[in-house]
Amino acid sequence: MYGLVGNDERLLAVHDQDVTSHRLPGGLVLAGEAAESALRRILREQVNAEVAHLDFYAVVERRRSRGGRENAVYELALLFDVTLIDPMPSRLVAAKRTG
- Percent of the chain's residues with pLDDT above 70: 82
pLDDT tens per residue across span 40-86: 999 999 888 899 999 999 999 988 776 666 677 788 999 999 999 98
pTM of the predicted model as reported, rounded to 2 decimal places: 0.76
d(CA 12, CA 93): 6
- Quickly state the pLDDT bin for 90 (edges 50, 70, 90): low
List domains and CATH numbers for the chain.
2-87 (3.90.79.10)
pLDDT in tens, 24-44: 999 999 999 999 999 999 999
Q: How far is CA 36 from CA 69, 72, 75, 97, in A?
A: 33, 27, 18, 24
Q: Estimate to the nearest angstrom the gap between the alpha carbon of 59 and the chain centroid.
A: 13
What does the longest C-alpha to C-alpha distance in the chain come to?
Answer: 44
pLDDT, greater one: 22 or 98? 22
